[in-house]
Amino acid sequence: MTDDGTPTDAEGGWFEGVAPGDVAAGAAAVRDGRADAPADWPRRAVESGFADDEDDYYAQLREATLRAAREGAAERERADDQQLVHAVRAMDDAAAQANELAERVAEWAGSRYPDAGTGVDYARELAERDPESPTDERLLSLARRTADLADESDALREFIERETPEVAPNLAAMAGPVLAARLVSLAGGLEPLAKKPAGTVQVLGAEDSLFAHLRGHAPSPKHGVIFTHEYVRGTRPEKRGSAARALAGKLTIAARVDHYSGERRPELDEELQRRMAQIRGRGDDGDADPGTEDAQAGGDA
């Protein structure tokens, strides 16, 4: 095998220079090597002394490929965008659990205190009180756990806001760090997001509505989580479809730039601003017809 990992015409083939039974070196050969044309690799391996026979070659090949696959998966899981995926999901889980426990705290507190309130803020307030009975002690302990979970969710949000611009600078600038990270999470990573068409990005997070539509039980959703973006949420309802298409198109481009080059391109933000100004600036008498509007939005994608 050459220095660049290309198998040569030497007798060893793919495992040229690899000692028999060295699974780690074999996995490296599988991950890094390439060949321009097929060859009789088992024969070459046997003739070079790497394997005793063809069955032994395939047994060693299996071990090497399994290890290469595990190493590749572990490397992918450690990638920065995957850390964002974990952080977003953990933030959502912590927030959901805190809100659910806050309801339990409020219900319990309502049976004991005339001034009982509701929500996570009340749980924080309750956590500062001194217990006056064993029952109070358990209730206040639960309130503290609720506050801790809410604090952890807040800390995860701060982490996401800090890290997302490093992982996806254009997407974070255009969507905001939290929404950008949420899109990465819903797609399963930055690379899968970059490979999705704009129409799919537009409805990420609205899968239940989309499936209901495909079954004929609901209208087609106009947007998913991108509704939280001011450009969609802050646009008049009759124009939100156009706004969502335009935003999704630019977000898709931003994700592709972030994945394939990582170069910050402020002109993408300016293009989106101009497009949104065009959509929002249309008067009731000057709106484009639906066909024209769809064509223009498709061009943005």
Report how far residue 162's alpha carbon sits from residue 85's, in angstroms, rounded to the nearest whole number.
Answer: 14
Residue 2: what pLDDT?
Answer: 44
For residue 89, what are its two tokens? Answer: 């999901």
Q: Are 172 and 251 in contact (CB under 8 A)?
A: no
Buried b / exposed e along 181-201 (16+ C-beta atoms within 10 A) = bbbbbbbebbbebbebebeeb
Q: How confident is the model at residue 76 (pLDDT cuts 50, 70, 90)?
A: low
**Alpha carbon separation from 60 to 14, 44, 72, 92, 276 (Å, rounded):** 12, 14, 18, 44, 58
pTM above 0.85, yes or no: no
| pLDDT tens for each residue of 243-298 | 999 999 999 999 999 999 888 999 999 999 999 999 988 644 334 333 333 333 33
Q: How confident is the model at residue 218 (pLDDT cuts 50, 70, 90)?
A: low
